[in-house]
Amino acid sequence: MGDILKYLIVDDEEIDRLTLESAASGFSFLQKTASCSHALEAFELITRFKPDIVFADIEMPGMSGLELIRRLSGKVPAPVFITSHPEFAIDGYEIEAFDYLLKPVTKERFTKCALRLRDFFHLREKVSALEKEDESNHIVIKEGYDKYKIGIRDILYLEAMKDYTKIVTGTGNHLVLCTLAGLHERLPAEKFVRIHRSYIVNRDRLSATKGNKIFVGEHELPLGKLYKNALDEIF
């Protein structure tokens, strides 16, 4: 998405579509994806182009703007309804419309909507970035009926136990119903290395190697012959 927000207009009145396009052209962060006169056509275009914003008239032949957004079922991050009938406002907000503009849309009212859209998407991106950062620093595992959030840096090593994997951390152990390979896929590849068919260790927690032994803190683990080369970059 970046700094550009893609929008689509659907309105059966050409003059209203052109008026809205003209208003949107005053904002560099708004970029038109498509403009159409029928909700069915809009449905296909929205599914194909995935715009961030849809400016939809409510009363249109065949399918209303309300029904269009309902059918898209959350695929439009910010639907904005535009109509001449204020009595539809409650229906619009019931399906989580971002905004509701009454025709004729004034420059001042559209400006307010556009700036709110910009702020909304900026905040949305910040939240998404924080979630990704959190995911990169932690892993959530299920142990029985309980869930635990474990810091990646706290994991010392993983040990295969048939269909289960034991996660050994500096503060305790967890046993999860997941294969060693399956759990390895969920962890950052650059931080975890396989040293044995039954063991994967956190590179940052390795302390020493002695012959065919690996030491992770006070833990002594076997080093498989097939995996010795994987440690060349570390020791």
**pLDDT tens figures, 142-157:** 887 788 888 889 999 9
* Domain ranges within the chain, ordered by starting residue: 5-135, 144-231
Alpha helices, H only, 73-208: 89-94, 107-137, 180-185
The rounded Cα 92 to chain-centroid distance in angstroms is 25
Measure CA of the first residue to CA of the last residue in the chain; give whole Å.
42
User: Looking at per-residue confidence, does 29 or 170 come out higher?
Assistant: 29
pLDDT at 117 over 90: yes
User: Looking at per-residue confidence, does 230 or 165 come out higher?
Assistant: 165
- Check if the beta carbon of residue 80 is closer than 8 Å to that of residue 98: yes
Task: Specify which residues 81 forms β-bridges with.
Answer: 56, 100
CATH 3.10.20.30 matches 144-231: no
What pLDDT, on a 0 to 100 scale, did the predictor assign at position 235?
58
| CATH architecture of residue range(s) 5-135 | 3-Layer(aba) Sandwich (3.40)
Q: For 34-89, how does the pLDDT look when each residue is reduced to its tens digit (9 = 90+)? A: 999 999 999 999 999 999 999 999 999 999 999 999 899 888 999 999 988 777 65
Q: Say what the pTM is.
A: 0.58
